[in-house]
Structure 1
Amino acid sequence: MLSASLRRSGGSFIMTVPLAYVEQNHLTAGTRMAIEIIGDELKIRPQRPRRLLCDLLAATPPGLCRADGWDEMGAAGGEL
């Protein structure tokens, strides 16, 4: 098991990340990390990038079957 020391920087504490973890997960300076606190444990992992609707729509295969009348349907809930 690896260990690290905390250092104070202003009102925060800093912990170094082992190079092996950085290389294994292809991290760089500025990579966003997801942090979860569970009792006295701290889980840290690379944060997945948020996918944009335009990217999802662009990845939709051409000729995909669509429900007839879908575009003409009214709102069913709080979408608008």
Structure 2
Amino acid sequence: MKPKFELTKEKKAGMVELLKRYFLEERDEEIGDLAAMLMLEFIIEEIAPVFYNLGVEDSHAYIGDKLDDMFGIMK
């Protein structure tokens, strides 16, 4: 099951503006709100879970290392 990312309207609007600015500055293309929103939805559904899972894996490894360190202080 993919994690569901819930964003506020304000955050989504900000991300839409970032996508529009990216296309304008990097590709010299103007895209509208709908195109940017569709791209954002694609990123949220298909790409973001990959990075989310990497973060979970990194967190798991970090916590595991710290738990292992705790055994080192046993007397």
Would the TM-score normalized by the shorter structure come out above 0.5?
no
Provide the TM-score with structure 1 as the length reference: 0.23
Structure having the higher helix fraction is 2
Provide the TM-score with structure 2 as the length reference: 0.24
Is the radius of gyration larger for structure 1 or structure 2?
1
Structure having the higher strand fraction is 1
Q: Which has the higher contact order (CA 8 A, sep 6+)?
A: 2
